[in-house]
Structure 1
Amino acid sequence: MSYPLAYQLYSSRNFPPLEDQLPELAAMGYDAIEPWLPAYEADPAAFGRAVRAAGMRIIGFHMPLDGLAADPGRWCDIAEEMGARVLIPPFVPAEERRDTADFWRGVGETLARGADVAAERGLTVAWHNHDFEYAALPDGTRPIDHILGAGDAVKFEIDIGWIVRGGADPAEELRRYAGRIVAIQLKDTAGPDGMGAEDGWRATGDGIIDWDALVPAMRASAATHVVAEHDNPADWRAFAARSADHMRRLGLVAGAA
């Protein structure tokens, strides 16, 4: 089985204009674009048309958690305007985080309320992790388990690189939430703490993560697609091409490596 391959456009934010990259990404074998705000902010429908004109689609998109909390209907409108089906809040700013189980349960409850609204329109809400969700709280529990514990309607875009940086075992996390995972980001890292050039991130296959060992757990999950992301590449083309090639070598996406 091969998965559709998406490209997280945040990776290319430092190399505008972004729409000029779309035909190149399609030529590399990318099936989809995963945009982040503000890439689609000016005109979501026009952005969706540009992606489709390049021969790709939008499966999921990153959006603000507070937007989902305040006006989930509007963000469902945006999803439909772009032709997307998965709304993905990815972050809680550091200044807003609290080291309590109640706070993180509240994040999960916000996601669950948004997921209920989205489900009425045939859409899905998924959380995207960073490293902070894997740091133990004073009571020994983890934020990620409170976030995803609010209800099965909230799905999961699992970012493997951030899990490694958070000190957790990506294979175990893939197994723990297998039925909730809708997308897998194959982000690679040079070290568990982040170091060196490009903020320590690497193209898929060029870092420390043993991707071959993770493939069985990926395949056992409910993921519908995989995603390439790099938070600060020096060369977005080199990153995008290398990551796509490595995923093909793993047998996760279609085409010859």
Structure 2
Amino acid sequence: MHPSRRLFLQQSAAVSLSSLLPLRSAFGETSMPIGIQLYTVQDELKKDAVATLHALAKIGYRKVESFPLQDITAAQMRSMLDDAGLKCPSAHLFFGMADNAQLFDQANALGANYAVSSVLLPNTIQGADLPKMMDIIKAFTLDDFKKIAAKANEIGAQAQKAGLQYAYHNHNFEFRDYGGHTGYEILLKETDPKLVKFELDCGWMVTSGNNPIDYFKKYSGRYPLMHAKDFPAGTPVTTTLGVDPNHRPTEIGRGHIDFKPIIAAAEKSGLQHIFVEQDPPIEGMTSLEAVGVSYEALRPLV
């Protein structure tokens, strides 16, 4: 079967499946379009990027957040997004592993307003060496977070010169307790609010034992971006980076996170963009089916 035809059938199945599932609506009434972090559907993008983007648009997504794809340039992605009627207001980038100017060029080529760090380390490393990165993160100290805050300010200043706004995306390890203080506390305190904004990943923050509503209320104006990510009931609280194979991220509405009050607090705080994200591998359905289910749980009334 031609890849485009196969993906169309998968997308149609996703919409049909989601309409049958007893999912609670997280959004209620809102005019904010729902976006998708393309990391979630990376497997389908590698097979047929054009068909995948059109499938996302047909589900109802109007915005995407990019992540690096080795075989697709930023200019090529921008052309495909334009053709599918999708916008890319935010770009996830691997700062510290490539020249920042090149990364900003990629973000601008995509038409993004935000340049977001997927992970930010205190020191530059060569290449995307995931095992090495995990070891570095496990050994973080509060002093390392101070270095990261200084690095974030530097990136933020460079981003503004490139016509972009830098934002830091959290996982769960930033909330590790260091004798009554956390790394996330350092990042919020020691970064310039004009240079450094934040993308709040709800799934990882809740998994760390913290409530996103508290942060949206306390740090109004610092969170223009949000990841809607859900985890199943019974997911243990942890600040160790990595997905628990027994409690993998799940589709929005099928987990334990109540997004309705979170989104209400986020919008009052100045939220501009919401992106659905589900970390692969996705079990029991295709990634396109999964994002169809998540969209149906979050879709605004139109």
Q: Measured at CA, do residues 18 and 208 of structure 1 come closer, stay the same or move farther in structure 2, by a change above 3 Å?
A: farther
- Correspondent of 1:31 among 37, 42, 62: 62
Partners of 1:156 and 1:105 in 2: CA distance: 16
Distance in 1 (alpha carbons) for counterparts of 2:89 and 2:70:
14
Distance 2:66 2:273 in 1: 15
Deviation at 1:58, TM superposition (A): 0.8
Corresponding residue of 2:53: 22
1:1-257 counterparts in 2 under 5 A? Answer: 1-15=30-44, 16-19=46-49, 20-37=51-68, 39=69, 42-67=72-97, 71-91=99-119, 92=121, 93-97=133-137, 98-137=139-178, 139-149=179-189, 150-152=191-193, 153-190=195-232, 191-193=234-236, 199-232=247-280, 233-234=282-283, 235-248=286-299, 253=300, 255=302
- Looking at structure 2, the residues matched to 114 and 124 of structure 1 have their Cα atoms a distance apart, in angstroms, of 9
Give the 3-state SS of the residue equivalent to 2:43 in structure 1.
Answer: coil
The number of aligned residues is 246
> Are the equivalent residues in 2 in contact too, given 1:5–1:226 (CA < 8 A)?
yes
1:104–1:143 CA contact under 8 A, matched in 2: yes
Over alpha carbons, which structure has the higher Rg? Answer: 2
Shift of 1:13: 2.2
CA deviations on 1:208-233 (whole Å, 9 max, x unpaired) are 01122323212212211100000022
What letter corresponds to residue 114 of structure 1 in structure 2?
I
SS in 1 for 2:118: coil
TM superposition score normalised by structure 1: 0.88
SS of aligned partner of 2:87: coil
CA contact (8 A) 1:164 1:192 kept: no
Q: Is there any run of 5+ residues in structure 2 with no aligned partner, and where?
A: 1-29, 122-132, 237-242
Letter in structure 2 aligned against 1:9? L
Shift in Å, 1:195: 5.5
User: With structure 2 as the length reference, what TM-score do the two structures score?
Assistant: 0.76
Q: Conserved in 2, the CA contact under 8 Å of 1:12 and 1:18?
A: no
How far apart, in 2, do the equivalents of 1:192 and 1:167 lie?
11
CA RMSD of aligned residues (A): 2.0
Secondary structure of the equivalent of 2:149?
helix
Q: Which has the higher contact order (CA 8 A, sep 6+)?
A: 2
Change in CA separation of 1:177 and 1:65 when aligned onto 2, cut-off 3 Å: farther
After superposition, what is the alpha-carbon deviation per residue over 1:85-109, rounded to whole angstroms, capped at 9, x for unaligned? 2111122432223442221011111
Cα shift at 1:4? 2.8
Q: Displacement, 1:144?
A: 1.1
Fraction of identical pairs, as percent: 25
